[in-house]
């Protein structure tokens, strides 16, 4: 097997060390390898929006430097005019003399730069918001598509469920990373522009600036990794919080929660878990805030030291008043930008760790696949299905779910599976529909292994209704159409499937008929009884029009009359098709051509109802126990 599975519990009472806690600085920076594929996925989301955002940011990047430099020129011009002597009595003559022409031009230029910066900022925000939403939507679709390609095994493994949950959170949680990356690129261009100005006047200011900012950068790198470690560690508990929220405030659970008085238990459990997560996050947040204050103070000391030196040199005559303004403003902005850039870089490195959750999920590959050159699927099935010494155990389990299964399901035969809970009946059905592959033996279809056929064709020719069928909050029509969703617009086929399963009478009583929304999740939805839902679910099997029908406890929620009617129709309508029925009701299984009795994952008896009763074995015992309940 390609994947490792955890057979044990989640270890709720103990916190295991997260891999992130032991990562070195080099390994944390190594997570930046996730940034290029992230940017590539952004590029594929929308070329036009990505280019627009980058181009506009490049223009915005030089505007702060240009604005500050124009401000320096304005101050120097005002200083020059003051040395010339301001207007005394005839102000109009002074204004009309053209002396202020250069000042007006500089003021107008600064105004244009300010308006341009504001307008460009709004356009950039628009591009980013549209691009972010498109990325979130497209990545969500990609996540759903990839999840759909995975094996059933993946959805029954707690560790992989944690990975899926973390990946799902990153779809929305990391979409803002785009704006941060582009903003950092913009800041980098602005920093270069400011740095050039400082290098011309006082190159030593750059060295002082970097010395003041390095501690803050190192601190941010450390605490970002700590935050990731906390989030990684508490993923199972976060999933439990989501579950508790759902159970505590859901229409599906409200009746039982109220009847059993579970509200207080659920609320208390949620409060305990949420407080535990809060305390873990608080410890990191307090350390981060404390050290952050120290690092900020160091940066402020560096800034004012540089400011004092610039002021002294201005008094000495090395710089003009405009130079003082430009240098102090440049140093302040450069300090802020560098601090933001270094902090942002450490945050990007931290978020790249989270991107690992998303991209590593996309690297999980299914194991149950179609062959490169599949055999044509038999139309119709002629020989049937043969189990040859088939054995299977679930990942991480020590006990075999089924073993040494050897039997034949002939073409056109109705086969019933009987046995106590946990005997392996549903596992056999999962193997039959290739939701799992056997660990031992093989299953043949018309003489060839199931793995030789296209997975899509195999499942298209098998109609399975499990005992834990899904109640879709769709219309009644769509609830049936999911049996073969590509025929969703075939109203005649849908109504015929409903008639075959006796669901047509249920739909006839609905206010909007087939267009009625089912379930109470959405407005104007109508809920059904368990038996009514079951008839809708059985209609999906008929909608599929498959060569093999599999009904796993199909009538558990039906009354005796409805059950009899459903199976009378099933017997009539399944003529010429193979069928597998799992049921605890012997009134149902006795209609089958042959019955297989399963016990502890193996076949203990096989034959017709009459033969098995006459044999006096396990089947006869179970039959007598059930019959005694009706006497």
pLDDT at 442: 93
467 burial (CB, 10 Å; 0-12 / 13-18 / 19+) is middle
DSSP-H helix ranges across 363-483: 425-432, 455-460, 476-481
> Where residue 338 sits, what CATH number does that domain have?
1.20.1560.10
pLDDT at 557: 61
pTM for the predicted model, two decimal places: 0.62
DSSP structure class, residue 446: T
Q: Determine, yes or no, domain membership for 495.
A: yes
Least reliable range by pLDDT among 55-64, 300-309, 414-423: 300-309
pLDDT at 507: 92
pLDDT at 392: 93
Q: Determine, yes or no, domain membership for 238.
A: yes
- State the number of CA atoms in the 13 A half-sphere of 308 facing the CB: 7
Measured between alpha carbons, how far is 447 from 283 in angstroms, rounded to an integer? 64
DSSP-H helix ranges across 150-234: 152-155, 158-173, 177-201, 204-233
Q: Residues for the chain: how many in total?
A: 631
- For residue 629, name the pLDDT band (cuts at 50, 70, 90): low
Q: Determine, yes or no, domain membership for 340.
A: yes
- State the number of CA atoms in the 13 A half-sphere of 567 facing the CB: 26
* Stretch 191-206: mean pLDDT: 69
- For residue 214, name the pLDDT band (cuts at 50, 70, 90): low
Q: Is the pLDDT of residue 56 over 70?
A: yes
Q: Is the pLDDT of residue 539 over 60?
A: yes
Measured between alpha carbons, how far is 326 from 284 in angstroms, rounded to an integer? 39
Q: Which residue has the higher pLDDT, 225 or 481?
A: 481
Q: Which residue has the higher pLDDT, 238 or 258?
A: 238
- For residue 559 the two structure tokens come to 């009354």
pLDDT digits (tens, 9 = 90+) for 496-522: 989 888 889 899 999 999 999 888 777
Of 336, 362, 388, the residue at which a domain comes to its end is: 362
Q: How many domains does the chain have?
A: 2
pLDDT at 6: 38
327 shares a domain with 208? yes
pLDDT at 365: 82
First to last CA, the chain: 52
Measured between alpha carbons, how far is 624 from 610 in angstroms, rounded to an integer? 13
353 shares a domain with 497? no
Of 512, 545, 578, the residue at which a domain comes to its end is: 545
- For residue 287, name the pLDDT band (cuts at 50, 70, 90): confident
- For residue 102, name the pLDDT band (cuts at 50, 70, 90): confident
Measured between alpha carbons, how far is 526 from 502 in angstroms, rounded to an integer? 19
- For residue 143, name the pLDDT band (cuts at 50, 70, 90): confident
> Where residue 515 sits, what CATH number does that domain have?
3.40.50.300
Q: Determine, yes or no, domain membership for 212.
A: yes
- For residue 406, name the pLDDT band (cuts at 50, 70, 90): very high
- What is the extent of the structural domain holding 122? 29-362
Of 545, 565, 583, the residue at which a domain comes to its end is: 545
- For residue 216, name the pLDDT band (cuts at 50, 70, 90): low
122 shares a domain with 254? yes
CB 579, CB 548: distance < 8 Å: yes
pLDDT at 120: 87
CB 581, CB 551: distance < 8 Å: yes
- For residue 7 the two structure tokens come to 């057979």
**Distance, C-alpha 38 to centroid of its chain:** 16
Q: Determine, yes or no, domain membership for 134.
A: yes
- For residue 137 the two structure tokens come to 């939507």
* Stretch 457-463: mean pLDDT: 86
* Stretch 297-310: mean pLDDT: 71
Measured between alpha carbons, how far is 146 from 366 in angstroms, rounded to an integer? 9
pLDDT at 342: 65
pLDDT digits (tens, 9 = 90+) for 407-422: 999 888 889 898 888 8
CB 319, CB 75: distance < 8 Å: no
Q: Determine, yes or no, domain membership for 374.
A: no
Provide the mean pLDDT of the chain.
77
- For residue 292 the two structure tokens come to 């952050």
């Amino acid at each position: 097997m390609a994947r490792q599975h955890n057979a044990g519990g989640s270890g709720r009472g103990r916190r295991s060390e997260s891999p992130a806690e032991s990562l070195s600085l080099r390994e944390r920076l190594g997570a930046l390898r996730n940034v290029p594929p992230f940017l590539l996925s952004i590029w594929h989301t929308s070329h036009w929006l990505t280019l627009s955002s980058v181009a506009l940011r490049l223009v915005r990047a030089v505007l702060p430097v240009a604005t500050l430099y124009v401000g320096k020129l304005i101050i120097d011009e005002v200083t020059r005019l003051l040395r010339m002597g301001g207007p005394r009595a005839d102000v109009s003559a002074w204004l009309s003399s053209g002396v202020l022409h250069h000042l007006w031009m500089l003021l107008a230029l600064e105004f244009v730069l300010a308006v341009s910066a504001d307008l460009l900022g709004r356009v950039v925000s628009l591009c980013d918001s549209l691009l972010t939403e498109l990325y979130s939507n497209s990545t969500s679709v990609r996540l759903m598509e990839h999840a759909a390609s995975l094996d059933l095994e993946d959805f029954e493994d707690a560790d992989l469920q944690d990975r899926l949950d973390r990946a799902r959170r990153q779809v929305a949680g990391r979409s803002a990373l785009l704006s941060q990356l582009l903003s950092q690129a913009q800041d980098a261009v602005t920093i270069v522009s400011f740095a050039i100005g400082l290098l011309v006047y006082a190159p030593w200011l750059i060295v002082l600036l970097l010395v003041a900012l390095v501690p803050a950068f190192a601190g941010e790198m450390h605490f970002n990794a700590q935050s990731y470690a906390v989030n990684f560690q508490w993923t199972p508990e976060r999933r439990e919080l989501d579950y508790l929220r759902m159970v505590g405030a859901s229409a599906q659970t409200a009746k039982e929660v109220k009847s059993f008085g579970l509200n207080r238990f659920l609320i208390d459990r949620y409060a305990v878990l949420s407080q535990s997560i809060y305390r873990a996050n608080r410890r990191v947040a307090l350390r981060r805030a404390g050290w952050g204050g120290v690092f900020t103070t160091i940066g402020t000391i560096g800034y004012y030291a540089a400011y004092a030196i610039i002021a002294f040199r201005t008094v000495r005559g090395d710089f003009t008043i405009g130079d003082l303004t430009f240098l102090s403003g440049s140093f302040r902005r450069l300090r802020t930008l560098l601090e933001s850039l270094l902090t942002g870089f450490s945050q990007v490195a931290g978020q790249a760790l989270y991107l690992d959750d998303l991209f590593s999920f996309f690297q999980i590959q299914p194991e149950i696949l179609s062959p490169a050159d599949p055999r044509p699927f038999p139309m119709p099935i002629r020989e049937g299905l043969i189990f040859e010494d088939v054995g299977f155990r679930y990942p991480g389990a020590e006990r075999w779910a089924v073993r040494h299964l050897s039997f034949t399901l002939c073409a056109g035969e109705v086969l019933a599976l009987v046995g106590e809970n946990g005997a392996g009946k549903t596992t056999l059905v999962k193997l039959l529909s290739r939701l799992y592959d056997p660990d031992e033996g093989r299953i043949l279809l018309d003489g060839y292994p199931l793995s030789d056929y296209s997975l899509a064709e195999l499942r298209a020719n098998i109609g399975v209704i499990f005992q834990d069928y899904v109640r879709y909050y769709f219309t009644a029509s769509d609830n049936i159409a999911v049996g073969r969703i590509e025929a969703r617009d075939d109203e005649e086929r849908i109504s015929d499937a409903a008639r075959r399963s006796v669901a047509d009478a249920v739909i006839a009583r609905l206010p909007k008929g087939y267009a009625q929304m089912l379930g109470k999740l959405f407005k104007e939805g109508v809920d059904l009884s368990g038996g009514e839902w079951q008839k809708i679910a059985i209609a999906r099997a008929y909608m599929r029009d498959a060569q093999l029908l599999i009904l796993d406890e199909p009538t558990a929620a039906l009354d005796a009359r409805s059950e009899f009617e459903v199976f009378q129709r099933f017997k009539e309508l399944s003529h010429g098709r193979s069928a597998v029925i799992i049921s605890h009701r012997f009134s149902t299984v006795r209609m089958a051509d042959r019955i297989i009795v399963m016990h502890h994952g193996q076949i203990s008896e096989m034959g017709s109802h009459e033969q098995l009763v006459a044999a006096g074995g396990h089947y006869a015992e179970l039959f007598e126990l059930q019959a005694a309940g009706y006497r």
